[in-house]
Structure 1
Amino acid sequence: MPTSLAPAPARLPLAASLLPLLVALHIAIVIASNYLVQIPVTLLGFHSTWGALSFPFIFLATDLTVRLIGKAPARRVITRAMLPALVASYVVGVLFRDGQFNGLAALGGFNAFVFRIALASFAAYVLGQLLDIQVFDRIRQRGRAWWLAPAAASIVGQALDTAAFFSIAFWRSSDPFMAAHWVEIAWVDYAVKLSVSLLLFVPAYGMALAAIVRALGRVPEPAAA
């Protein structure tokens, strides 16, 4: 796993080439997670959703972005992805509510339930990702072990993301099941996302970064923003 990397002058070209891909990746993960969060699943007797297994991918992508091209470009990814993700999440949520295709006619009316989920996802995404970026960059600059920054950023970023999403989306929801169980689901969702992040995505971060180091020879140390 990577420990320390020498600086290189390729930061700006690398940022320019990666930004569109990262924006598209973030939008795709948000859309998928908003669709999957509508589908409940029981894990070890606790209520959760399939979205808990997909959303941690965003934190992996964000942490690699900060590590490779810096905090400011990572923030630009968030600002460019958030509005398209909001619109696309609403459209996909209406078309495929409860996991079933409802036909294009479903877009003819306004669906307040799905819009609330999309809006909650928008708020949670922005808050969680910006906190993740700040925590990751602060710890990374201190030169600690490679795994500490992504682990700490996941713990605090996903806590804020989960709390914001479920409280905005399902507090006094029109869906009786979600209105009754959203607190339990939120706790289980956070536990699942955190477990997936720490057990799978933090090691994946280390392996991905090591692979990039080998491919490029060295990775730039982004300047603080």
Structure 2
Amino acid sequence: MTRPLSTEGWQRAVLLLTGAHILIIAASNYLVQLPIQILGVHTTWGAFSFPFIFLVTDLTVRVLGKQAGRRTVLLAMLPALALSYIFGAAFQQGEYQGLEGLVGLNVFVARIAMASFMAYVLGQLMDIHVFDRLRRRQRHWWVAPAFSTVLGNLVDTAAFFALAFHAGPDPFMAAHWVEIATVDYVTKLAVSMAVFVPLYGLVLAMLQRWILGDGLGAGLSKG
């Protein structure tokens, strides 16, 4: 059983988590503009930053509940959209554009921001739904974060790259977005399974000791 937080504590936690979501989304939308090659295949730096958001979401649902997860998404999505556009326009493709970058509408950056908005909402709601159902049915702590991350990342990645780069103004990304999206998804899964799922278990145990008072073994066994 979890120890209930006060209303003030719950709201403070949701606002803190909302801020984390906004920062991760804005950073990832900038990093996705920077393609790299790994073992001869194309991906982006965003593949290494965005899995953080699934870690934050799953911990939110586990500790504060499904309602807190959904509220975090609702609070974060519009500020994240605005910040993604501002940051992306000012530092397009890794180069500082100055204030001139914010004058007028940057179609390339606006498309990325809108694609991120749609993909974020779809991916996070999928992640929350799957995670909440599995954590209630499975005794093993790793099942819910692992499977929700697989499905949430799939929905998010497919929606984002199709909306952002298919027949878009960037010739390279328009030509390679399917390859990049596939590698991006595989990279996210590899990073998530190797780093973020184990990290989820460690952070969950710490939070349970600090906030919930369940103890390490009991908390992890409950998922």
1:31 to 12, 23, 26: 26
1:69 to 47, 57, 64: 64
Q: What is the match of residue 162 of structure 1?
A: 157
Which whole-Å CA distance do the structure 2 matches of 1:14 and 1:130 have between them? 23
1:182 to 177, 186, 197: 177
Cα drift, residue 8 of structure 1: 2.4
Please state whether the residue corresponding to 1:123 is helix, strand or coil: helix
Cα drift, residue 144 of structure 1: 2.7
TM-score, length-normalised on structure 1? 0.92
Deviations along 1:104-156, whole A, 9 cap, x unmatched?
A: 12111111111000000000000000000000000001133100000000000
8 Å contact 1:14–1:69 — kept in the other structure?
no
Q: Is 2:195 the partner of 1:200?
A: yes
Please state whether the residue corresponding to 1:140 is helix, strand or coil: helix
TM-score, length-normalised on structure 2? 0.93
Query: For structure 1, which runs of at least 5 residues remain unmatched after alignment?
Result: 1-5
8 Å contact 1:12–1:69 — kept in the other structure?
no
8 Å contact 2:138–2:144 — kept in the other structure?
no
Which whole-Å CA distance do the structure 2 matches of 1:148 and 1:12 have between them? 30
Q: Is 2:170 the partner of 1:210?
A: no
Please state whether the residue corresponding to 1:48 is helix, strand or coil: strand
Q: Is 2:150 the partner of 1:150?
A: no
Q: What is the match of residue 84 of structure 2?
A: 89
Which whole-Å CA distance do the structure 2 matches of 1:9 and 1:161 have between them? 32
Please state whether the residue corresponding to 1:47 is helix, strand or coil: strand
Q: Which amino acid aligns with 2:33?
A: Q
Which whole-Å CA distance do the structure 1 matches of 2:178 and 2:33 have between them? 15
Q: Is 2:124 the partner of 1:133?
A: no
Which whole-Å CA distance do the structure 1 matches of 2:57 and 2:4 have between them? 21
Q: Is 2:108 the partner of 1:113?
A: yes
Q: Is 2:119 the partner of 1:124?
A: yes
8 Å contact 2:161–2:181 — kept in the other structure?
yes
Q: Which amino acid aligns with 1:155?
A: V
Q: Which amino acid aligns with 2:31?
A: L
Query: For structure 2, which runs of at least 5 residues remain unmatched after alignment?
Result: none
Higher relative contact order by CA 8 Å / sep ≥ 6: 1 or 2?
Answer: 1
Q: Which amino acid aligns with 1:218?
A: D
8 Å contact 1:11–1:69 — kept in the other structure?
no
